[in-house]
Amino acid sequence: MKIIVCGGDGFCGWPISLHLSARGHEVVIVDTLVRRAADRELGVDSLTPIRALDERLAAWRAVSGWSIPWHAIDLAHAYDDLLALLVRERPDAVVHLAEQRAAPYSMKSPRHKRYTVDNNVNATHNLLCAVVESGIDSHVVHIGTMGVYGYGSGGGTMIPEGYLAVEVPTADGQGRIEREILHPTDPGSIYHMTKCLDQQLFYYYNKNDKLRVTDLHQGVVWGTNTAETRLDDRLINRFDYDGDYGTVLNRFLMQAAVGHPLTVHGSGGQTRAFIHIQDTVRCLSLALENPPQRGERVRILNQMTETHRVIDLARMVSAMTGADIQHLDNPRNEASRNELPAVARSLISLGLEPTHLQEGLLEEVIGVARAYAHRCDKSRIPCTSKWTTS
Amino acid sequence: MKIIVCGGDGFCGWPISLHLSARGHEVVIVDTLVRRAADRELGVDSLTPIRALDERLAAWRAVSGWSIPWHAIDLAHAYDDLLALLVRERPDAVVHLAEQRAAPYSMKSPRHKRYTVDNNVNATHNLLCAVVESGIDSHVVHIGTMGVYGYGSGGGTMIPEGYLAVEVPTADGQGRIEREILHPTDPGSIYHMTKCLDQQLFYYYNKNDKLRVTDLHQGVVWGTNTAETRLDDRLINRFDYDGDYGTVLNRFLMQAAVGHPLTVHGSGGQTRAFIHIQDTVRCLSLALENPPQRGERVRILNQMTETHRVIDLARMVSAMTGADIQHLDNPRNEASRNELPAVARSLISLGLEPTHLQEGLLEEVIGVARAYAHRCDKSRIPCTSKWTTS
């Protein structure tokens, strides 16, 4: 297959691109390197010394023999270039990761809120519009988030994969009718909200133009390297540890490695879904190699392998490493405690063999963090974005 | 009250601004005149000779004694100016009509799709973001559309005002739990989709920042003048008859006036909700004068007074005027026949006395159209936007 990966320089995009290339697919990366610009804006850098994209791609060519061309096209603001690329390349699929992906970053200031909405909505819409205009039947695969469903109390129901069977009253109020609807969303940040907007865009283009779309609602990713990024130092993946882009489990493992207390926001009673980066890349190849048929509704899959409470993860890392746990005020506007019961069977039925939290993999992450501990700026660990001004 | 009307030069915005001013409110208009630019792009003009906004406002000052200042701020792209205006004016309410409002225009080309998404989403988001940043507890009142619910078959259920009570299965699959959810949406065009996205933006800002929001899901507006626009020729309201911006009943009445057959798309079995422009302005004052409390969820009201099948309207106008009915291919991607059972009690409970279709008012519209028939360019009557390329 020929696959364009938009956002192919990012934390998920880079190992996905290499994995697809290793499987023999013809991969083309589209990326403006804006994620690296955000690092410079925030005064941080990946804990791991990621190389310039050109250098990464040269290393991959040396290691694997495969070439991955790269185009610096801004999906949100360079529609004509995007369209020309699609018409020229005629990809079988487009992986869409060209979105601002951090909730805290999206809440830093009005400028960050507005950037996240403008970038994410226009990037998604331009891509869908361009696929239709190009006349190519490309399968669009997007990574969303389990967070679209909100982190409310849970309340005794199960989060399905996209579609919810409900009963609604009849017009006369006497009976009830069964309906299958897109699962209602309840986003907790501007970032999460944009993923809810994406869902509406996919629904519309699938209905009106028969676009083939797979939307993967992903859990919190942990780990850093995959089979491909381990092949050469120059292929190393990004490791975010700062308060904006760092994700919770990786932050705990890094904090343990550098001798920082594990920072738990509020009680730590928040339940989140998790997935290892190795499973992320595997899920993408499964989704791409099993595309929906033309005319099929948007395929929505929950891309996660387990759920944990934040405090339980902190205790586990603390028990492994002896690190202290530090409870801080929660800057987010969310329930202090929630359940997150969810169905995640589809990717397993396609062949995913889930990687669960296990000491070996956790220790590998700690090992990576220790190796690059000298690159850590501890002043960038705290989360400074606040969800509300009041 | 001090009220900023964004989009105050438009078909609804102009008579709303005058009505609020006549009721003693302090009105400020924000408008870039982009609707007039769209007319120039399309090579059409309002059937009625609307005056330049400065001239309109001078006439209103002469007729009523009230001044309405006007600022040409682009909500979608001039955030700093918008914020400065809010901080300076400290409005009690902001009426948000600064959106591209025609479904056929939104479907004309990729450029029109992209403009509609970029403009409408960023305008709404910038406004919400600016109200939060300003720290002012302004009530945001938006006009949405009944079209967010889609024009499917109807299927025996009733469209409520915003929120739908459903039953969902419990996690163990054994029981059912009641939930109240935002009514699922099913947009039929890019324009309608942006109104669904707006709904998500309102939901989020109301939840996270306690913004007070009223979203008025309006039917198809008919009529042209209101009590205030009738006061002076220079206050006359816009009358759109072209295939992009003209709405169905006004188009039939204009077609009858100029001796053109009544153009029915497909069978005419499509059911739509309707409201007279005089009721639109009344609904806005009712919504503004009865604002939600801080902490109250988004108030969603169905702003419509009756529903009709398109073919029934054509037959009625034909019977009144002798005009022929002409069936054309439907350029839209929609059901050929649908029901539209909907609840619309809230605005009546606030004091709306609905204006129903009646010969007198229909004849008034025909009279206006006859008076300006010499301004009609019949070549602009056909709908040329197609919903799909296939």
Would you call B133 an interface residue with chain A, using a CB distance cutoff of 8 Å? yes
Residue A331 falls inside a structural domain: no
Residue A83 falls inside a structural domain: yes
Report the pLDDT value the prediction gives residue B328, as an integer from 0 to 100. Answer: 94
Closest listed residue to residue B107, CA positions, set B332, B310, B322:
B332
pTM: 0.97
Q: Please give the average per-residue pLDDT across A236-264, as a whole number.
A: 96
Residue B390 falls inside a structural domain: no
Choose the closest CB to B170 out of A156, A176, A189.
A156
Q: Please give the average per-residue pLDDT across B202-226, as a whole number.
A: 97
Q: Give the helix/strand (H/E) hosting A317.
A: helix A310-321
Q: Shortest Cα distance from A121 to chain B (angstroms)?
A: 8
Q: Shortest Cα distance from B181 to chain A (angstroms)?
A: 7
In contact, B101 and B191? CB cutoff 8 Å: yes
- Does B376 have pLDDT greater than 70? yes
Contact B166 A165 (CB under 8 A): no
Choose, out of B128, B166, B209, the residue to mutate when testing the contact with A (most A CBs < 10 Å).
B166
- Does B153 have pLDDT greater than 60? no
- Does B279 have pLDDT greater than 80? yes
Residue B274 falls inside a structural domain: yes
Give percent of chain A above pLDDT 70. Answer: 99
Would you call B169 an interface residue with chain A, using a CB distance cutoff of 8 Å? yes
The number of beta carbons lying within 10 Å of the beta carbon of residue B314 is 26
Report the pLDDT value the prediction gives residue B158, as an integer from 0 to 100. Answer: 87
| pLDDT band, very low/low/confident/very high, at A154 (cuts 50, 70, 90) | low
| pLDDT band, very low/low/confident/very high, at B339 (cuts 50, 70, 90) | confident
The maximal CA–CA distance of chain A, rounded, in angstroms, is 70
Question: What tens digit of pLDDT does each residue of B64-106 get?
Answer: 999 999 999 999 999 999 999 999 999 999 999 999 999 999 9
> How high is the ipTM of this complex?
0.96
Choose the closest CB to A164 out of B126, B168, B387.
B168
- Does A390 have pLDDT greater than 80? no
Contact B196 A201 (CB under 8 A): no
Residue range of the domain that includes A14: 2-240+274-305+344-356
Q: Please, what is the average pLDDT of chain B? A: 95
- Does A257 have pLDDT greater than 80? yes
> Would residue A191 show up in a list of annotated catalytic residues for this protein?
yes
Q: Please give the average per-residue pLDDT across B379-390, as a whole number.
A: 89
Tokens 């190389």 appear where?
A51
Residue A266 falls inside a structural domain: no
Supply the DSSP symbol for B284. Answer: H
Q: Please give the average per-residue pLDDT across A130-156, as a whole number.
A: 90
Sheet of strand A271-276, all strands in order from the earlier edge strand to the far edge: A220-222, A271-276, A306-309
| pLDDT band, very low/low/confident/very high, at A156 (cuts 50, 70, 90) | confident
Q: Please give the average per-residue pLDDT across B267-288, as a whole number.
A: 96
Instruction: Let me know the angle formed at the C-alpha of B154 by B152 and B158, rounded to the nearest 5 degrees.
Output: 130
| pLDDT band, very low/low/confident/very high, at A155 (cuts 50, 70, 90) | low
Write the CATH number for A232: 3.40.50.720
Q: Kindly list the catalytic residues of B.
A: 145, 191, 195
Q: Shortest Cα distance from B384 to chain A (angstroms)?
A: 17
Residue A294 falls inside a structural domain: yes
Choose the closest CB to A125 out of B117, B132, B171.
B117
- Does A389 have pLDDT greater than 90? no
Residue B387 falls inside a structural domain: no
Report the pLDDT value the prediction gives residue B327, as an integer from 0 to 100. Answer: 95
How many structural domains does chain A have?
1
Closest listed residue to residue A202, CA positions, set A85, A292, A277:
A292
Would you call B164 an interface residue with chain A, using a CB distance cutoff of 8 Å? yes
- Does B389 have pLDDT greater than 80? no
Q: Please give the average per-residue pLDDT across B138-158, as a whole number.
A: 86
> Would residue A105 show up in a list of annotated catalytic residues for this protein?
no
Choose, out of B185, B200, B388, the residue to mutate when testing the contact with A (most A CBs < 10 Å).
B200
The C-alpha atoms of residue B300 and residue A91 are separated, in whole angstroms, by 43
Q: Please give the average per-residue pLDDT across A337-354, as a whole number.
A: 92
Would you call B149 an interface residue with chain A, using a CB distance cutoff of 8 Å? no
Residue A20 falls inside a structural domain: yes
The C-alpha atoms of residue A388 and residue A95 are separated, in whole angstroms, by 33
Report the pLDDT value the prediction gives residue B155, as an integer from 0 to 100. Answer: 66
Q: Shortest Cα distance from B388 to chain A (angstroms)?
A: 7
